[in-house]
Structure 1
Amino acid sequence: MQFLTLSRRRTDAFPAEAFTPELVAREGQRVKELYIAGILRQVWRRGDTPGAAIVWEAASEAEVRQACESLPIFKAGMLEISVLVPLEPYAGFGPVK
Protein backbone atom coordinates (compact mmCIF):
# COMPACT_ATOMS: atom_id res chain seq x y z
CA MET A 1 0.00 0.00 0.00
CA GLN A 2 1.20 3.51 -0.69
CA PHE A 3 1.06 6.53 1.61
CA LEU A 4 1.82 10.23 1.18
CA THR A 5 3.37 12.41 3.84
CA LEU A 6 3.87 16.15 3.85
CA SER A 7 6.34 17.36 6.43
CA ARG A 8 7.60 20.76 7.42
CA ARG A 9 10.68 21.88 9.26
CA ARG A 10 9.75 23.58 12.53
CA THR A 11 11.45 26.85 11.61
CA ASP A 12 9.02 28.66 13.92
CA ALA A 13 10.61 26.91 16.91
CA PHE A 14 14.20 26.40 15.68
CA PRO A 15 16.52 28.97 14.06
CA ALA A 16 18.05 28.25 10.66
CA GLU A 17 21.46 27.57 12.24
CA ALA A 18 19.94 24.63 14.18
CA PHE A 19 19.64 22.76 10.87
CA THR A 20 23.38 22.16 10.73
CA PRO A 21 25.12 20.67 7.69
CA GLU A 22 25.87 17.56 9.79
CA LEU A 23 22.21 17.10 10.75
CA VAL A 24 21.05 17.64 7.17
CA ALA A 25 23.69 15.15 5.92
CA ARG A 26 22.49 12.53 8.44
CA GLU A 27 18.92 13.15 7.28
CA GLY A 28 19.98 12.65 3.66
CA GLN A 29 21.77 9.43 4.55
CA ARG A 30 18.71 8.07 6.37
CA VAL A 31 16.48 8.96 3.40
CA LYS A 32 18.85 7.01 1.13
CA GLU A 33 18.70 4.02 3.49
CA LEU A 34 14.90 4.07 3.48
CA TYR A 35 14.91 4.32 -0.32
CA ILE A 36 17.26 1.34 -0.63
CA ALA A 37 15.05 -0.61 1.79
CA GLY A 38 12.09 0.02 -0.55
CA ILE A 39 9.82 1.81 1.92
CA LEU A 40 10.55 5.34 0.64
CA ARG A 41 9.58 5.44 -3.04
CA GLN A 42 9.76 9.11 -4.04
CA VAL A 43 10.75 12.31 -2.29
CA TRP A 44 10.53 15.98 -3.19
CA ARG A 45 11.43 19.20 -1.41
CA ARG A 46 8.35 21.30 -0.81
CA GLY A 47 8.18 24.52 -2.81
CA ASP A 48 5.96 26.38 -0.37
CA THR A 49 7.80 25.83 2.92
CA PRO A 50 10.90 23.97 4.14
CA GLY A 51 9.96 20.30 4.27
CA ALA A 52 9.29 17.31 2.05
CA ALA A 53 6.59 15.39 0.23
CA ILE A 54 7.26 11.64 0.34
CA VAL A 55 5.52 8.65 -1.21
CA TRP A 56 5.96 5.53 0.93
CA GLU A 57 5.35 1.84 0.20
CA ALA A 58 4.40 0.00 3.39
CA ALA A 59 2.07 -2.60 4.83
CA SER A 60 0.59 -0.16 7.34
CA GLU A 61 0.43 3.43 8.50
CA ALA A 62 2.31 2.35 11.62
CA GLU A 63 5.25 1.26 9.44
CA VAL A 64 5.31 4.68 7.76
CA ARG A 65 5.16 6.46 11.12
CA GLN A 66 8.06 4.32 12.35
CA ALA A 67 10.10 5.27 9.27
CA CYS A 68 9.31 8.97 9.77
CA GLU A 69 10.32 8.72 13.42
CA SER A 70 13.71 7.33 12.32
CA LEU A 71 14.60 10.55 10.49
CA PRO A 72 17.27 12.54 12.38
CA ILE A 73 15.49 15.89 12.02
CA PHE A 74 12.27 14.32 13.31
CA LYS A 75 14.15 12.71 16.22
CA ALA A 76 15.51 16.16 17.11
CA GLY A 77 11.93 17.49 17.32
CA MET A 78 12.61 19.80 14.39
CA LEU A 79 10.29 18.14 11.84
CA GLU A 80 6.51 17.90 11.87
CA ILE A 81 4.51 15.43 9.80
CA SER A 82 1.60 17.63 8.73
CA VAL A 83 -0.20 15.05 6.57
CA LEU A 84 -0.09 11.25 6.39
CA VAL A 85 -2.69 9.71 4.10
CA PRO A 86 -3.15 6.28 2.54
CA LEU A 87 -3.35 6.38 -1.27
CA GLU A 88 -5.73 4.33 -3.38
CA PRO A 89 -5.56 3.64 -7.11
CA TYR A 90 -7.21 6.24 -9.32
CA ALA A 91 -10.35 4.67 -10.80
CA GLY A 92 -9.95 6.53 -14.12
CA PHE A 93 -7.00 4.29 -15.02
CA GLY A 94 -8.81 1.04 -14.26
CA PRO A 95 -11.26 -0.97 -16.31
CA VAL A 96 -14.64 0.61 -17.04
CA LYS A 97 -17.39 -1.02 -14.98
Structure 2
Amino acid sequence: MSRADEDPNREPIGVIGTGYVGLVTAAGFAELGSDVVCVDIDAEKIARLERGEIPIYEPGLAELVQKNRERLTFTTDISQALSRARLLFVAVGTP
Protein backbone atom coordinates (compact mmCIF):
# COMPACT_ATOMS: atom_id res chain seq x y z
CA MET A 1 0.00 0.00 0.00
CA SER A 2 1.41 3.41 -0.94
CA ARG A 3 1.12 6.41 1.34
CA ALA A 4 -1.43 7.91 -1.07
CA ASP A 5 -3.65 4.85 -0.48
CA GLU A 6 -3.61 5.47 3.26
CA ASP A 7 -5.78 8.59 2.93
CA PRO A 8 -8.71 8.05 0.54
CA ASN A 9 -9.66 11.73 0.87
CA ARG A 10 -6.34 12.95 -0.55
CA GLU A 11 -6.92 14.54 -3.94
CA PRO A 12 -4.37 15.08 -6.72
CA ILE A 13 -2.35 18.29 -6.94
CA GLY A 14 -1.40 20.10 -10.13
CA VAL A 15 1.87 21.97 -10.54
CA ILE A 16 2.19 24.26 -13.55
CA GLY A 17 5.87 24.66 -14.43
CA THR A 18 8.64 22.10 -13.98
CA GLY A 19 11.60 24.33 -13.26
CA TYR A 20 13.46 24.79 -10.00
CA VAL A 21 10.39 25.77 -8.01
CA GLY A 22 7.75 23.62 -9.69
CA LEU A 23 9.61 20.33 -9.98
CA VAL A 24 10.96 20.49 -6.44
CA THR A 25 7.48 21.37 -5.14
CA ALA A 26 5.90 18.50 -7.09
CA ALA A 27 8.48 16.01 -5.81
CA GLY A 28 7.86 17.20 -2.25
CA PHE A 29 4.10 16.76 -2.57
CA ALA A 30 4.64 13.28 -4.04
CA GLU A 31 6.95 12.39 -1.15
CA LEU A 32 4.15 13.42 1.22
CA GLY A 33 1.83 10.95 -0.55
CA SER A 34 -0.05 13.04 -3.08
CA ASP A 35 -0.52 12.23 -6.74
CA VAL A 36 0.84 15.18 -8.70
CA VAL A 37 0.21 16.25 -12.29
CA CYS A 38 3.19 18.30 -13.53
CA VAL A 39 2.53 20.52 -16.55
CA ASP A 40 5.00 22.41 -18.72
CA ILE A 41 4.83 23.93 -22.20
CA ASP A 42 8.30 22.58 -23.04
CA ALA A 43 7.59 19.20 -24.67
CA GLU A 44 11.26 18.19 -24.64
CA LYS A 45 11.53 18.85 -20.91
CA ILE A 46 8.41 16.73 -20.31
CA ALA A 47 9.83 13.94 -22.49
CA ARG A 48 13.05 14.01 -20.48
CA LEU A 49 11.15 13.86 -17.19
CA GLU A 50 9.10 10.92 -18.47
CA ARG A 51 12.38 9.13 -19.23
CA GLY A 52 13.56 9.81 -15.68
CA GLU A 53 16.01 12.56 -16.66
CA ILE A 54 16.02 15.57 -14.36
CA PRO A 55 16.64 18.79 -16.35
CA ILE A 56 17.84 20.84 -13.39
CA TYR A 57 20.36 20.31 -10.62
CA GLU A 58 19.02 20.18 -7.10
CA PRO A 59 20.72 17.88 -4.58
CA GLY A 60 18.58 14.78 -3.95
CA LEU A 61 15.91 15.70 -6.50
CA ALA A 62 16.62 12.88 -8.95
CA GLU A 63 16.35 10.31 -6.17
CA LEU A 64 13.15 11.87 -4.83
CA VAL A 65 11.52 11.89 -8.27
CA GLN A 66 12.58 8.28 -8.90
CA LYS A 67 11.32 7.14 -5.51
CA ASN A 68 7.91 8.72 -6.09
CA ARG A 69 7.61 8.10 -9.83
CA GLU A 70 4.28 6.29 -9.49
CA ARG A 71 2.73 9.44 -8.00
CA LEU A 72 4.08 11.86 -10.64
CA THR A 73 2.52 12.50 -14.05
CA PHE A 74 4.34 14.73 -16.56
CA THR A 75 2.41 16.36 -19.39
CA THR A 76 2.12 19.36 -21.70
CA ASP A 77 -1.68 19.09 -21.56
CA ILE A 78 -2.95 21.48 -18.90
CA SER A 79 -6.42 19.94 -19.11
CA GLN A 80 -5.06 16.86 -17.29
CA ALA A 81 -4.26 19.02 -14.27
CA LEU A 82 -7.44 21.06 -14.53
CA SER A 83 -9.66 17.98 -14.69
CA ARG A 84 -7.89 15.92 -11.99
CA ALA A 85 -6.34 18.28 -9.46
CA ARG A 86 -8.07 19.77 -6.47
CA LEU A 87 -5.25 22.26 -5.93
CA LEU A 88 -3.15 24.02 -8.57
CA PHE A 89 0.23 25.60 -7.93
CA VAL A 90 1.62 27.95 -10.55
CA ALA A 91 5.42 27.97 -10.63
CA VAL A 92 6.35 29.71 -13.85
CA GLY A 93 8.91 32.39 -14.59
CA THR A 94 7.87 35.96 -14.05
CA PRO A 95 8.84 38.75 -16.42
Task: Tell me if both proteins adopt one fold, taking TM over 0.5 as the criterion.
Answer: no
Q: Which has the higher helix share?
A: 2
TM-score (norm 2): 0.29
Higher relative contact order (Cα pairs below 8 Å, separated by 6+ residues)? 1
Structure with higher Rg: it is: 1
TM-score (norm 1): 0.28
Q: Which has the higher strand share?
A: 1
